[in-house]
């Protein structure tokens, strides 16, 4: 069950049916592309880095320890009560990590080490592991290495209704300096950035991926990751303090409270929570994202 | 009871004077560590630095009269109920920002020193299970952490705490890996590596609180020296502090869920999430106001 009314929320908290977890994720020192998306799960911190390191091309669930911890509460249902976010700057004068669009997601299933240089070769996926928790999700292409140039690919998949043989739109990849960036940008060009791959018309989700075929080489490795987007958020201003001249402090905390700012999204037991982000202000290199996730269950 | 309406609240805290303020400040005695949570009680300031006195492995219950430093918040008000109305915080330090500050009601602690820290194995705790006379009668909502009381020596053992849940059933926290050489107040279970939990230890599936601390079990290579406390607390609220010198104010009247309760006897203490390594001698200022009705 969930909540029938406002009163049940504080009652649940008073009964101990709530949890709070702090997290800190620190992108590497390699520059990320302005306005492109990046995968915070890939970076060091708490929870620890998730490199999608398992057997190539074989479906695998994301290690639960790589997600922001939330308890298991069944038969109750758990809901996000509050998300607070701040981003520390890489240097006293850096504003590059300001203005981040974020998507809190439940990371479900991934296919690692897809060779973006295998032009004309159908790379078949092994599907001995099924998608957990949901019937389907959105597909994110995450770099697992540097990528040297602009590639193009499509993938075939089974949609959320269990229909196999569906074919994605043609996607462009782009050059990146390291793993962790979302390299499949858009169906239009390599310089237009979107978090999720575009599917065959009429489909709203992917249950599993059957194959990937590149028609132009991208010069790297990537993972296709199926996630369930839970809510969107935003970081407005970087947190920093100048160290010369007129000393000035900058920063803001962006808070997203259930019922006030967003619906109280459900977090299913076993969820592997992490965040995707677009750095609209510049590179996220050497910055860090810190936040608090608060949940309540009933 | 609390207030029956906003008009009642305004009447109680103005006409009837059922209102108060609390001010709190601490100066960090050593540099912090990025990604670690830190219990501020053991640092100098107002109230004075706590030393967490007590017999090893014996639970020490604390309340708003705790001689080692509990901020006074007006005493008991039963049968009325007391609630936070708002709170503010600021930090001043050359490094360490941004910060999150969390208010907790520290129900009590278990001190460990000497060979109870410098050797591995099971350390059995003496504690009378919480009951009807306690602030949280069955331990509902209470959480566990382990904090350095004095600076820890080298090595980073793993650790698990066994407890009884709100129904008296046996439970165990998730195993965490400690960190070598932590400073005063830093939480052993927090940090940015694998097997760290920020700031509270995960409990067994379905558990909503802790009524009794049974034992602490160290494994691996023990800390070379130092003293620690197992903390038992109720989380109350959090405040973000984005940068040094900035003051953040939170309104609990219009937030959701609103008006966190201060139960009679609450020992209000603070945890600080240092997302960078806060400079030694960094200062933390907190204030909150409260009201009560009935």
**What tokens were used for A90?**
């890489």
Mean pLDDT value across residues B90-98:
92
Residue A205 located in a structural domain: yes
Test A88 with B94 for CB contact under 8 angstroms.
no
Cα–chain center distance at B211? 16
Residue with tokens 């239009």: A188
Query: What does the alpha-carbon distance between residue A127 and residue A158 come to, in Å, rounded to a whole number?
Result: 11
Q: Note if the bond before A190 is cis, omega within 30 degrees.
A: no
Around Cβ A106, how many Cβ atoms within 10 Å?
24
| pLDDT bucket at A185, cuts 50 / 70 / 90 | confident
Per-residue pLDDT at B257 exceeds 70: no
**What tokens were used for B21?**
């303020």
Q: Is B179 exposed, middle or buried (0-12, 13-18, 19+ CB in 10 A)?
A: buried
H-helix or E-strand spanning residue A46: strand A44-46
B98 touches chain A (CB under 8 A): yes
**Could you say which of B102, B194, B258 has the minimum Cβ distance to residue A48?**
B194
Overall number of domains in chain B: 1
Contacts A19 to B, Cβ<8 Å:
200
Chain B residue with Cα closest to A243: B94
Each residue of B39-76: pLDDT tens digit? 999 999 999 999 999 999 999 999 999 999 999 999 99
Q: Which of B174, B194, B208 should we substitute to test contact with A (largest number of A Cβ atoms within 10 Å)?
A: B208
Test A14 with B196 for CB contact under 8 angstroms.
no
Residue A222 located in a structural domain: yes
The Cα of A37 is separated from the nearest Cα of chain B by a number of Å equal to 23
Give yes or no for a contact between A71 and A19, defined as CB atoms under 8 angstroms apart. yes
Give yes or no for a contact between A23 and A45, defined as CB atoms under 8 angstroms apart. yes
Overall number of domains in chain A: 1
Query: What does the alpha-carbon distance between residue B135 and residue B124 come to, in Å, rounded to a whole number?
Result: 24
Cβ neighbours for A245, distance < 8 A, ≥ 6 positions apart: none
pLDDT at B285: 97
Q: Work out the angle at residue B171's Cα, subtended by the Cα atoms of residues B167 and B175, and round it to the nearest 5 degrees.
A: 150
Per-residue pLDDT at A208 exceeds 70: yes
Contacts B243 to A, Cβ<8 Å:
239-241, 249-251
Test B275 with A26 for CB contact under 8 angstroms.
no
pLDDT at A15: 94
Give yes or no for a contact between B252 and B86, defined as CB atoms under 8 angstroms apart. yes
Q: Of A68, A108, A114, A85, whose CA–CA distance to A225 is shortest?
A: A108
Strand partners, B238: B102
Where is pLDDT greater, at A71 or B277? A71
Query: What does the alpha-carbon distance between residue A118 and residue A214 come to, in Å, rounded to a whole number?
Result: 6
Query: What does the alpha-carbon distance between residue A121 and residue B8 come to, in Å, rounded to a whole number?
Result: 73
Residue A64 located in a structural domain: yes
B residues 111-170 closer than 8 Å to A (CB) = 139-142, 166
Residue A105 located in a structural domain: yes
Half-sphere exposure of B17 (CA within 13 A, CB side): 1
Residue B109 located in a structural domain: yes
- Mean predicted lDDT score pLDDT of chain A: 95
B36 touches chain A (CB under 8 A): no
Residue B3 located in a structural domain: no
| pLDDT bucket at A263, cuts 50 / 70 / 90 | confident
Per-residue pLDDT at B1 exceeds 90: no
Query: What does the alpha-carbon distance between residue B50 and residue B67 come to, in Å, rounded to a whole number?
Result: 9
Residue B10 located in a structural domain: no
B residues 252-271 closer than 8 Å to A (CB) = 255-258, 261
Strand partners, A296: A18, A79
Strand partners, B37: B273
Residue B293 located in a structural domain: no
The Cα of B240 is separated from the nearest Cα of chain A by a number of Å equal to 6
**What tokens were used for B25?**
């400040």
Provide the sign of the torsion angle of the four alpha carbons A64, A67, A70, A75, taken in this order: negative
Strands A78-88 and A238-241: parallel
List, in sequence order, every beta strand (DSSP E) within chain B: 19-27, 36-39, 44-46, 60-61, 82-92, 99-112, 121-124, 143-150, 158-164, 170-172, 176-177, 212-219, 227-241, 247-251, 261-262, 268-274, 283-292
Q: What share of chain A has pLDDT > 90, as a percent?
A: 89
H-helix or E-strand spanning residue A154: strand A152-159
**Could you say which of B34, B140, B242 has the minimum Cβ distance to residue A251?**
B242
Test B198 with A239 for CB contact under 8 angstroms.
no
pLDDT at B58: 98
Each residue of A96-148: pLDDT tens digit? 999 999 999 999 999 999 999 999 999 999 999 999 999 999 999 999 999 99
Chain A residue with Cα closest to B203: A71
**Could you say which of B97, B166, B198 has the minimum Cβ distance to residue A21?**
B198
Each residue of B151-164: pLDDT tens digit? 999 999 999 999 99
Provide the sign of the torsion angle of the four alpha carbons A199, A113, A45, A175, taken in this order: negative
- Mean predicted lDDT score pLDDT of chain B: 95
Each residue of B220-238: pLDDT tens digit? 999 999 999 999 999 999 9
Test A257 with B256 for CB contact under 8 angstroms.
yes
Give yes or no for a contact between A44 and A23, defined as CB atoms under 8 angstroms apart. no
Test B245 with A249 for CB contact under 8 angstroms.
yes
**What tokens were used for B276?**
């960078």
Give yes or no for a contact between B271 and B104, defined as CB atoms under 8 angstroms apart. yes
Strand partners, B146: B230
Residue B199 located in a structural domain: yes
pLDDT at A146: 97
B279 touches chain A (CB under 8 A): no
Residue with tokens 């906003």: B6
Q: Of B250, B154, B238, whose CA–CA distance to B200 is shortest?
A: B238
Residue B5 located in a structural domain: no
Test A15 with B141 for CB contact under 8 angstroms.
yes
Give yes or no for a contact between B247 and B105, defined as CB atoms under 8 angstroms apart. no
Domain extent, residue B108, equals 19-280
The Cα of A171 is separated from the nearest Cα of chain B by a number of Å equal to 35
B88 touches chain A (CB under 8 A): no
Separation of first and last alpha carbons in chain B: 6
B75 touches chain A (CB under 8 A): no
Domain extent, residue A116, equals 23-52+59-70+82-297
Test A22 with B198 for CB contact under 8 angstroms.
yes
**Could you say which of A9, A22, A241 has the minimum Cβ distance to residue B257?**
A9
Contacts B236 to A, Cβ<8 Å:
none
pTM metric for this prediction: 0.94
Test A250 with B243 for CB contact under 8 angstroms.
yes
Query: What does the alpha-carbon distance between residue B265 and residue B259 come to, in Å, rounded to a whole number?
Result: 17
Residue B11 located in a structural domain: no
pLDDT at B179: 95
Residue A9 located in a structural domain: no
Number of CB pairs, chain A paired with chain B, less than 8 A apart: 130
Per-residue pLDDT at A189 exceeds 90: no
């Amino acid at each position: 069950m969930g909540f029938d009314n406002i009163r049940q929320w504080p009652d649940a908290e008073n009964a101990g049916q709530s949890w709070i977890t702090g997290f800190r994720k620190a992108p590497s020192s390699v520059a990320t592309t302005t306005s492109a998306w990046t995968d915070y799960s890939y970076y060091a911190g708490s929870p620890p880095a998730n490199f999608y390191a398992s057997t190539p091309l074989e479906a695998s669930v994301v290690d639960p320890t790589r997600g922001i911890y939330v308890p298991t509460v069944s038969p109750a249902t758990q809901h996000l009560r509050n998300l607070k976010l701040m981003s520390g700057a890489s240097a006293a004068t850096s504003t590059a990590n300001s203005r981040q669009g974020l998507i809190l997601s439940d990371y479900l299933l991934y296919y690692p080490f897809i060779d973006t240089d295998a032009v004309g070769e159908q790379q078949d996926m092994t599907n001995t592991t099924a998608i957990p928790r949901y019937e389907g999700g959105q597909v994110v292409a995450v770099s697992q290495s540097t990528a040297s140039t602009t590639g193009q690919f499509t993938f075939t998949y089974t949609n959320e209704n269990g229909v196999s043989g569906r074919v994605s739109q043609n996607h462009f990849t782009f050059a990146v300096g390291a793993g962790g960036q979302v390299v499949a940008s858009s169906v239009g060009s390599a310089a237009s950035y979107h978090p999720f791959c575009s599917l065959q018309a009429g489909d709203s989700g992917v249950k599993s991926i059957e194959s990937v075929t590149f028609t132009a080489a991208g010069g790297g490795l990537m993972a296709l990751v199926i996630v369930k987007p839970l809510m969107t958020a935003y970081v407005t201003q970087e947190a920093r303090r100048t160290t010369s001249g007129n000393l000035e402090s900058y920063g803001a905390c962006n808070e997203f409270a259930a019922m006030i700012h967003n619906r109280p999204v459900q977090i299913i037991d076993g969820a592997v929570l992490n965040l995707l982000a677009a750095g609209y202000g510049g590179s996220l290199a050497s910055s860090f994202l810190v936040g608090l996730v608060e949940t309540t269950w009933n | 009871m609390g207030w029956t309406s906003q008009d009642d609240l305004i009447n109680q805290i103005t006409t009837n004077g059922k209102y108060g303020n609390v001010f709190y400040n601490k100066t960090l005695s050593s540099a912090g560590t990025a990604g670690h949570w830190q219990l501020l009680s053991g640092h100098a300031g107002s109230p004075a630095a706590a030393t967490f006195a007590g017999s090893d492995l014996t639970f020490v219950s604390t309340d708003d009269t705790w001689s080692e430093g509990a901020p006074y918040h007006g005493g008991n008000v039963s049968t009325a109920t007391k609630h936070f109305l708002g709170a503010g915080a600021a930090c001043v330090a050359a490094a360490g920002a941004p910060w999150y500050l969390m208010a907790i009601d520290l129900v009590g602690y278990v001190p460990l020193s000497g060979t109870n820290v410098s050797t591995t194995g099971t350390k059995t705790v003496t504690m009378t299970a919480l009951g009807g006379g306690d602030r949280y009668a069955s331990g509902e909502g209470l959480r566990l952490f382990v904090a350095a009381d004095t600076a820890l020596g080298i090595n980073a053992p793993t650790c698990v705490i066994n407890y009884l849940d709100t129904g008296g059933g046996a439970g165990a926290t998730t195993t965490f890996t400690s960190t070598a050489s932590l400073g005063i107040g830093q939480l052993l279970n927090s940090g940015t590596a694998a097997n760290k939990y920020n700031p509270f230890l995960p409990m067994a599936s379905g558990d909503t609180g802790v009524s009794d601390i049974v034992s602490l079990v160290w494994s691996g290579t023990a800390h070379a020296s130092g003293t620690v406390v197992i903390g038992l607390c109720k989380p109350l609220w959090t405040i973000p502090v984005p940068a040094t010198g900035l003051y953040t104010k939170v309104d609990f009247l219009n937030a959701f869920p609103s008006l966190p309760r201060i139960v009679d006897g609450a020992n209000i203490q603070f945890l600080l999430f240092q997302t960078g390594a806060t400079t030694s001698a960094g200062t933390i200022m907190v204030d909150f106001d409260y009201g009560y009705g009935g």
